[in-house]
Amino acid sequence: MSLRAETSQIQTQRLVLSPQIRQFLRLLQMPVIELKEAIDQELSSNPALEEAATDPSEDAASGDTSVPDKPLENSKTTAEDLKLQEKLDNLARLEEDYDPYSYRLNDLDSESREETDRKSSYRQMLITKPTTLIDHLTWQKMHLDLSEEDDKIANFIIGNINEDGYLTASLEEIAHETNATVSDAKSVLKLIQQFDPPGVAATSLAECLVLQLNGLGKNAGLPIRMITECLPLLERRKYSQIARQLGVGEQSVQAAVKLIGTLEPKPGRSFYQEEHITVVPDLRIVKDEEANTYRAELIDEDFPRLRISPGYRRMLRDKNLDKKTKEYLRERIHSGLWFMNAMEQRRSTLKKIADAITEIQSEYMEHGPSRLKPLRMKDIASKIGIHESTVSRAIQGKYMETPHNTVPLKSFFSSSVATDNGSEESQKSTLERIRKLIESENPLKPLSDQQLVARLKGDGIRVARRTAAKYRDLLKILPSHLRRRDAAA
């Protein structure tokens, strides 16, 4: 059998997305902050697209009186020109009827430019860079009178403290990397371990807790012994065994446990950079008090109103315009129209999805997470007549401001749990029920997973014991034997 190269034709079918569809899907997936950046980028890259003035008198002053576009006067007008001219005619009619043509994400005429700028400035002030744990430690180090060698050691130690506040390098590594002795490294480390927050620069949980106890200025002998000698028993809450092992009374152990409970196992926690500080909701839920109903609104007051430049449209009607310039104008105008159309489609799609969610989850809006209904993306797609993948793209990274909290749109979607009456309970509302059951339990006799199943069954919700255990794990709640408190507590 000989090998040879040859060409052949193969007929296949595949779905090819047009540039317009690709642009729409790209914009649809963007959350509000990224979308604002995309609009600014499009305005800077396409001269045919511009931001319309919020005050119609500004357009009049600039010479734009929104006069309808005249037909192209070139005798060699092509079909493409006629199609574009039809779009421009529609543009002109819209301008004549509704103000200078713009993609109106929101009607800004209801508030002054000064008020809009004030709100925008306030939002920008909210998004500031927080102080990190490393910044905080470095600032404290600057107040120490350290030698050049010790300062080098201190910098290396601070640079190897993780976000939880623990030192990730050994004394030997510190000494080796800074050309110092282990003794010098240990001395500098002890200085940094006195920094705020208490317990910082520890190498283990036990050391972290002991550092905090040493800084309390109280009689912490028993708590320190419990941490250094009985930490595994302490984690399992075997208080009686701890009392026997240390030869002390159970009441003393309980008092020490309360003191240990006030300590912070992760000293760097207060410096965590929580993502929610940069979350800007895309939608808000508003209640109509008279009708006692809820509706969804897009939050887009910071977005500019877009339009096709009247100057470019006038240039396109010039019969003396050369072919190359005309092609460029046509391309830029088409691109601007595609972008505005994609923005309008994004707004319409997101609003339809939000309206459908609001209608289905009306009890959530009224009563909170415990009344969340089971909902699939397929249900929303079928309700508003779009593909399920479009729903998935639309809710990606989007947040909604509800009467209870600001939550991701995807949090409204949940699988179902069967009930005795034949209806369906949301998985997330079942999680909320389990959380409330455990919060209200007797700490001396915490509910086992089987007892949780029985309580849920009493409410008509049928779940298996292992399902209840899985839900408890999702809530990051310990098993019953680890939640149990001794009677002395």
Tokens of 403: 């009467």
Query: Is a pLDDT exceeding 50 seen at residue 317?
Result: yes
The two beta strands, 293-298 and 283-288, are antiparallel
Q: How far apart (Å, rounded) are the C-alpha atoms in residues 196 and 23? A: 50
Tokens of 49: 């697209």
Reported as a pLDDT band with limits 50, 70 and 90, residue 102 is very low
Query: Is a pLDDT exceeding 70 seen at residue 69?
Result: no
Q: Flag whether the pTM goes above 0.75.
A: no
Residues above pLDDT 90, as percent of the chain? 16
Tokens of 367: 């009563």
pLDDT at position 68: 42
**What mean pLDDT do residues 34-39 have?**
87
CB atoms within 10 A of CB 69: 19
**Of 84-98, 128-142, 378-392, where does mean pLDDT reach its minimum?**
84-98
pLDDT at position 353: 92
β-sheet bridge partners, residue 49:
308
Query: Is a pLDDT exceeding 60 seen at residue 112?
Result: no
**What mean pLDDT do residues 164-193 have?**
92
**How do residues 230-256 score in pLDDT, each as one tens digit?**
888 888 888 889 999 999 988 888 888
* 284 φ/ψ angles, rounded to the nearest 5 degrees: -135, 150
Q: How far apart (Å, rounded) are the C-alpha atoms in residues 433 and 369? A: 10
> Is residue 401 within 8 Å of residue 287, measured between CB atoms?
no
DSSP 3-state assignment of 100? coil
Q: How far is CA 125 from CA 46, 133, 338, in A?
A: 30, 22, 34
User: ∠ CA 389-391-397 to the nearest 5 degrees?
Assistant: 105
User: How many helices and strands in the chain, by DSSP H and E?
Assistant: 22, 8
Nearest partner of 242 among 252, 255, 233, judged by Cα: 233
CA end-to-end span of the chain, whole Å? Answer: 85
Per the prediction, the chain carries an average pLDDT of 78
Tokens of 67: 């006069």
**Using N-to-C axis directions, what is the helix angle for 32-45 and 323-360, rounded to 10°?**
170
pLDDT at position 150: 93
Reported as a pLDDT band with limits 50, 70 and 90, residue 436 is confident
Query: Is a pLDDT exceeding 90 seen at residue 61?
Result: no
β-sheet bridge partners, residue 392:
none
DSSP 3-state assignment of 419? strand
Query: Is a pLDDT exceeding 50 seen at residue 177?
Result: yes
107-112 own/partner pairs: CB under 8 Å, 24+ apart? 108/54, 108/301, 108/305, 109/54, 109/55, 111/301
**How do residues 407-425 score in pLDDT, each as one tens digit?**
888 888 876 555 555 455 5
* 418 φ/ψ angles, rounded to the nearest 5 degrees: -70, 150
pLDDT at position 149: 92
Query: Is a pLDDT exceeding 70 seen at residue 56?
Result: no
DSSP labels for 263-289? S-S-GGGGG---GGGG---SEEEEEET
Q: How far apart (Å, rounded) are the C-alpha atoms in residues 163 and 170? A: 17
Superfamily, domain 417-483:
Homeodomain-like (1.10.10.60)
Query: Is a pLDDT exceeding 80 seen at residue 306?
Result: yes
Token look-up 């959380």 returns 435
Reported as a pLDDT band with limits 50, 70 and 90, residue 153 is very high
Superfamily, domain 133-271:
RNA polymerase sigma-54 factor, core-binding domain (1.10.10.1330)
Chain CA centroid to CA 466, Å:
31
Query: Is a pLDDT exceeding 60 seen at residue 60?
Result: no
pLDDT at position 109: 38
Is the model more confident about 95 or about 401? 401
Q: Where in the chain is the domain with CATH 1.10.10.60?
A: 417-483
Q: Where in the chain is the domain with CATH 1.10.10.1330?
A: 133-271
